[in-house]
Homo-oligomer: A and B are copies of this chain.
Amino acid sequence: MHEKVYRVELGARSYDIHIEPDSLPRLGRAMRALLPDAERCLVVSNETVAPLYLEQLEASLREGGWHSTACILPDGEQFKTLRTWSKILDALMEARIARNEPIVALGGGVIGDMAGFAAACYRRGIPFVQVPTTLLAQVDSSVGGKTGINHEHGKNMIGAFYQPRLVWIDPLMLRTLDARQVRAGLAEVIKYGLIRDAAFFDWLDAHMPDALQLDAMVVSELIHESCRHKAEVVMADETEQGMRALLNLGHTFGHAIEAMTAYRRYLHGEAVALGLLMAARMSAQMGYADAAIEARICACLKRASLPTEVPAFPAERWLDAMGHDKKNIGTQIRFVLLKRIGQAFISADVRAQDVRRLIDSYRRA
């Protein structure tokens, strides 16, 4: 029921995104069809997800004829480090995973990013299957091939563009997800509407109560539309030479918020929600968008019970935190701004004084 397959076309690196409720039991056989000659695989997961789904995944893998080993990592963005990543490499060596044998990432964005980066680097690249278990990972991070880890001084500073061989999304897995995590995922879904699809934004805004309650039809639809938007952008610009940067709407501010709060106070999606509001206000302040845009977005975020209060920090701390953001070119900070809901653009015209004015406007409020 409700099986949806979206094909990401990237030449030799093309792959399917398979979206279907209760599909985890069929993953092992799907992987077998994709990789007929491999024997072993390494499952990478974390201490939160493994107790919920590892057994079911392992049964599915056995049914596909796989000999699997598990590498269970601690849960949390603060563990997205070189040190944790090296444990995956150790586990790959230990299990003697060969060059044609896959890693299966079972978890949210942190697990997917780290496991994908390990797949990119182990033996200079082995196959990689994403089984995203959070809404954020299902609508965003599992698609598109951005993998990596954080550096002490910057988020996702170390990584690779490395596409998965398969993304396997089972929306029923969201039933065990914390409500706060569901809301955080919705921030990225709202983002797609803001960047390139006003009708989707309106639909989402209207269906927010159903989305929050994980209504199967609404959730499947919003996952599919999000994956389609993400994939269309990635297919046009795989390595972010240009338009892929649009997907960073809200992220330059969001990453700064995460960095300034040591990745502890906000979930990534919550920080992005605040970043979306800041991008909207800056767009209005610089004359690119109508001032009403901020209130419209704020209302939608509130319907999703996402935070809308931008935290107070001195402007110089914001600038410093954004100066380390990896989307900079030289000393210039590139921002993604809005012309209207459904139309984002990349601006190279934002100066430090524009950021200061924006920050000051929150302190006066």
Q: B-contacting residues of A (Cβ < 8 Å)?
A: 37-39, 82, 86, 89-90, 93, 96, 98-101, 117, 120-125, 146, 148, 151-154, 156-161, 239-240, 323-324, 326-331
Contacts and interface: CB of A to CB of B under 8 A. Distances in A.
For the complex of A and B, the 6 pairs showing the least CB-CB separation, nearest first, are A123-B326, A124-B159, A93-B153, A121-B158, A98-B330, A124-B161
Contacts of A328: 98-99
Given A37-B330, A123-B326, A125-B160, A154 B93 contact: yes
Contact of A159 (B121, B148, B159): B121
A117 B146 CA distance: 17
Nearest to A101: B330
Nearest to A86: B82
A240 B125 CA distance: 11
Given A38-B330, A124-B159, 7 more contacts: A82-B86, A89-B157, A93-B151, A98-B330, A121-B160, A124-B326, A125-B160
Interface centre among A117, A160, A323 (most CB of B within 10 A): A160
A313 to B, nearest CB: 21
Contacts of A154: 93
30 contacts: A37-B329, A37-B330, A39-B331, A82-B86, A90-B151, A93-B152, A93-B154, A93-B157, A96-B323, A96-B324, A99-B326, A99-B327, A99-B329, A100-B330, A101-B330, A121-B121, A121-B158, A121-B159, A121-B160, A122-B157, A123-B157, A124-B148, A124-B156, A124-B159, A124-B160, A124-B161, A124-B239, A124-B240, A125-B160, A160-B160
Each complex incorporates copies of this chain amounting to: 2
A17 B171 CA distance: 51
A277 B323 CA distance: 55
A102 to B, nearest CB: 13
Contacts of A82: 82, 86, 89
Contact of A124 (B37, B39, B146): B146
A38 B326 CA distance: 15
A330 to B, nearest CB: 5
A154 B96 CA distance: 11
Nearest to A123: B326
A330 B39 contact: yes
Nearest to A151: B93
A279 B100 CA distance: 25
A103 B330 CA distance: 15
A324 B99 CA distance: 11
A345 B93 CA distance: 28
B239 A125 contact: yes
